[in-house]
């Protein structure tokens, strides 16, 4: 689908706005996360000609504009996105579709996963999840752990599997290595699109290799 010049302009304005607003975000949602999710979404979208790529691109760019984990408001991102898009004369219909996508995009505990979403929502959700995998996923987890002062690894603290949204949000006594078992290694099987699944396969193996090596080094065996 070819975007109109006016739609390209809205996307460009959004890029410029987010670059500035999220230049220094410390919790893993800085501009370059948004950039990568945007690129992932455009790539996945190529396999789905029926998808509205204007909505996909804007939702990918704006999906972390406010973080429900920190603000406590589940709808914070869609509200903030609407406030940004409305003065750009984006239609209420498009704003509302983007809002639904970004309210549902984020991982909120293994027990909450796999909600029913539109093809545009599936693409954005998969694009975001890919950025939690592989070399970048490992780097982001370690960065987040440092930012929140979560211990790297505590051998006698076992991962908590299948957490509800409330448990996931309030789970602070774990470790960064446990996060791999509580979220990152689960993501491959929660993807919606084949295009994302084929990328996730290699990234998943890469993380498993990292963990194998990590545990060997922990015991002085490698």
Binding site for ligand ADP (CB under 6 A): 28-29, 64, 67, 106-107, 128, 132, 137, 140-141, 144-145, 150, 176, 179, 183-184
Q: In Å, how far are 8, 16, 19, 54, 88 from 12, measured between CA atoms? A: 6, 6, 11, 12, 11
Task: Say which entry of ligand ADP, Ni ion, none residue 121 contacts (CB below 5 to 8 A, set by partner kind).
Answer: none
48 C-beta neighbours (distance < 10 Å), count: 18
**Footprint of Ni ion on residues 158-187 (CB under 5 A)?**
none
**Footprint of Ni ion on residues 23-82 (CB under 5 A)?**
64
Residue 56 contacts residue 41 (beta carbons within 8 Å): yes
Residues 6+ apart with CB under 8 A from 202: 134
Would you say 85 or 184 has its CB closer to ligand ADP?
184
Task: Show the tokens assigned to 151.
Answer: 């211990």
**Among 107, 128, 168, 180, which residue interacts with Ni ion (rule: CB under 5 A)?**
128
Residue 75: HSE in the Cβ half-sphere, 13 Å Cα cutoff:
6
Task: Say which entry of Ni ion, ligand ADP, none residue 53 contacts (CB below 5 to 8 A, set by partner kind).
Answer: none
Q: In Å, how far are 38, 114, 148, 152 from 214, measured between CA atoms? A: 31, 30, 21, 11
- Number of residues this chain uses to bind Ni ion (CB under 5 A): 2
Task: Say which entry of ligand ADP, Ni ion, none residue 123 contacts (CB below 5 to 8 A, set by partner kind).
Answer: none
Contact window for Ni ion (CB under 5 A) among 117-125, 126-134, 183-191, 198-206: 126-134
Binding site for Ni ion (CB under 5 A): 64, 128
């Amino acid at each position: 689908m070819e975007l109109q010049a006016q739609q390209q302009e809205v996307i460009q304005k959004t890029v410029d706005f987010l670059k500035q607003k999220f230049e220094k975000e410390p919790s893993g949602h800085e501009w370059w996360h948004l950039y990568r999710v945007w690129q992932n979404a455009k790539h996945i979208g190529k396999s789905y000609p029926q998808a509205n790529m204007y909505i996909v691109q804007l939702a990918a760019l704006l999906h972390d504009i406010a973080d429900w984990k920190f603000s406590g408001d589940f709808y914070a991102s869609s509200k903030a996105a609407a406030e940004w898009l409305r003065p750009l004369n984006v239609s209420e219909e498009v704003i509302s579709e983007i809002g639904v996508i970004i309210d549902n995009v984020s991982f909120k505990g293994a027990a909450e996963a796999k909600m029913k979403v539109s093809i545009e929502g599936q693409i954005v959700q998969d694009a975001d999840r890919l950025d939690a995998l592989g070399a970048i996923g490992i780097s982001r987890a370690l960065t987040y752990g440092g930012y929140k002062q979560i211990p790297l690894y505590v051998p006698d603290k076992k991962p908590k599997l299948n957490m509800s949204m409330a448990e996931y949000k309030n789970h602070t006594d774990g470790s960064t290595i446990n996060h791999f078992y509580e979220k990152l290694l689960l993501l491959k099987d929660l993807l919606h699109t084949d295009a994302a699944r084929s990328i996730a396969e290699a990234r998943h193996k890469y993380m498993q290799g990292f963990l194998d090596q990590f545990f060997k080094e922990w015991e002085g065996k490698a």
